[in-house]
Amino acid sequence: MSSPRVAVVGAGIGGLALAAALDAAGTAYEVFERADRLTEVGAGVQLSPNAVRPLHRLGLRPTLDSRAVRLAAAQIHGWSGRPVARTELGAACEVRFGAPYLGMHRADLRDALHARVDPTRLHLGRPLTRVDRDGEEVVLTFADGRTHRADVVVGADGLRSAVRAALVPDTPVFSGLGVFRGLVPMDRLPAGARAPVARMWLGPGRHFVCYPVSGGRALGFAAIAPLRRPPVESWSVTVDPAELVAAFDGWHAPVAAVAQAAREVRYWALWDREPLTALSVGRVTLLGDAAHPMLPFLAQGANQAVEDAVELASCLTGASRADAPDRLLRYQRQRMPRTTAVQSASRAQARHMHLADGPEQAARDVALRQAADLDARAWLYGYEPGGVAA
């Protein structure tokens, strides 16, 4: 039985996690990335136990232990500082869900995944332009005219996926929101900011999140507010930190302290897409943001990309070239209910996080306190590919 040759398009969090999982399983793969170098714009990512468990299994535990920060709690405030809800994420969460909740620099996560991938199988500077079927093979064509034949193609090429474009004629929809992101060295902040706690402040039309990363040496922040400029389609732009300060003027003192200490601020327009009705068509499938981009209200984009990657690698383990399309349908059956549920939860969160002060907001705060209980998080953090572990 000959095993399928898998081509992964995109070496972001999802593509590298898939490559690492295929490598560990002994499945043949090649990764094609449009960028000439694997660099990462500095910002934080939250990793929840549902992604940390599979990352541990992929051999990342030593890097996560040394480079990430175990978050002890997530604290939600109103914009002026009023406490709203708190989730204990420390030992109780770790024992219950078998892995910690982490704050990490995205560059550290990407480097750790990159280290698990065979360098001879990673092809940089290869933007994909076309996907064609030729009998039982799929032919990829790159911007430089070179081609590659594979038995399975995985679009892990993010929000503006060229692989998705070959399957579905939809386009991203602008959400009306933008996000400021960056890192602030801890020594520029008051001592109170150093606690291993993810903090979130909610206000009318906007919110601000921050948590420690890089072994506690820096604070990552993400500040979401209505877009004040025409939406940029590019990955991100650098903006004057004064824009961030102005967008959160008059908020709780710790928000102002982080905004004022930020020196390098990147800015993204936020785009969304409708959930797909199918992930896999023949020998082509999608994962991560190419499959189900989410607005960052549940902090699950990267976590879902990791879940997709380990599920897909598991479905392809032991596959033959002939049964690869059935394995991709199995992946679709396993993942679609999960990713659709997470996408819907993220949208529901988006609807109520930016309410104006008033009675609706008071009802929202009660709901947030109920949702802060670890029991209410079991569906999210306890998920294991193929079933629910907790």
Ligand X SMILES: Cc1cc2nc3c(=O)[nH]c(=O)nc-3n(C[C@H](O)[C@H](O)[C@H](O)COP(=O)(O)OP(=O)(O)OC[C@H]3O[C@@H](n4cnc5c(N)ncnc54)[C@H](O)[C@@H]3O)c2cc1C
Among residues 101, 211, 331, 381, the one annotated as catalytic is 211
CB of 351 to ligand X, least distance (A): 19
CA 155/CA 158 separation, integer angstroms: 8
Provide the angle, in degrees to the nearest 10, between the axes of the packed helices 13-25 and 106-114.
30
Q: 9 or 219: whose CB is closer to ligand X?
A: 9
Q: Which of 63, 280, 300, 343 contacts ligand X by CB under 6 A?
A: 300
Among 184, 299, 313, 319, binds ligand X (CB under 6 A): 299
Nearer to ligand X by C-beta: 190 or 235?
Answer: 235
- Per CB under 6 A, the list member of 152, 154, 156, 166 interacting with ligand X is 156
Distance of closest approach, residue 309 Cβ to ligand X, in angstroms: 8
215 forms part of the interface with ligand X (CB under 6 A):
no
3-class secondary-structure state, position 319: coil
Residue that has been written with the tokens 């294991």 in this structure: 384
Query: Residue 118 phi/psi, 5° resolution?
Result: -65, 120
Per-residue contact flags (x/-) with ligand X for residues 91 to 130, judged by CB under 6 A = ---------------x--------------------xx--
* Interface with ligand X, residue 158, by CB under 6 A: yes
CA-based end-to-end distance of the chain? 37
CB distance 27 to 313 below 8 Å: yes
* Shorter beta-carbon distance to ligand X: residue 8 or 368: 8
Q: Considering the rule CB under 6 A, would residue 12 count as an interface residue with ligand X? A: yes
Closest CA to 129 of 165, 95, 94: 165
Cα gap 241→245, rounded to integer Å: 7
Rounded least distance, CB 363 to ligand X, Å: 27
Query: Could you tell me the smallest distance in angstroms from the CB atom of residue 73 to ligand X?
Result: 16
Binding-residue pattern over the window 172 to 201 for ligand X, x denoting contact by CB under 6 A:
---------x--------------------
Residue length of the chain: 390
Report the number of secondary-structure helices (H) and strands (E) in the chain: 12, 22
Least distance to ligand X, CB of residue 302, Å? 3
The DSSP string of 296-313 is TTSS-HHHHHHHHHHHHH
Looking up tokens 């948590």, which residue turns up?
211
The values of phi and psi at residue 299, to 5°, are: 55, 45
Tokens of 134: 């030729």
Taking the C-alpha atoms of residue 19 and residue 140, their distance in angstroms, rounded to an integer, is 18
| CB of residue 163 to ligand X, shortest distance in Å | 8
Taking contact as CB under 6 A, which single stretch among the options 27-35, 74-82, 93-101, 166-174 is the one that binds ligand X? 27-35
89 contacts ligand X (rule: CB under 6 A): no
Specify whether 29 is catalytic. Answer: no
Q: Which of 8, 31, 32, 224 binds ligand X (CB under 6 A)?
A: 32
Q: Is 15 in the site for ligand X (CB under 6 A)?
A: yes
Q: Which stretch binds ligand X (CB under 6 A): 60-68, 81-89, 198-206, 286-294?
A: 286-294
Q: Closest by alpha carbon to 116, among 55, 166, 174?
A: 55
Contact 181, 268 (CB under 8 A): yes
Q: Which of the residues are catalytic?
A: 211
Residues at the contact surface with ligand X, assessed by CB under 6 A: 9-15, 32-35, 43, 45-46, 106, 127-128, 156-158, 162, 181, 288-290, 296, 299-303, 305
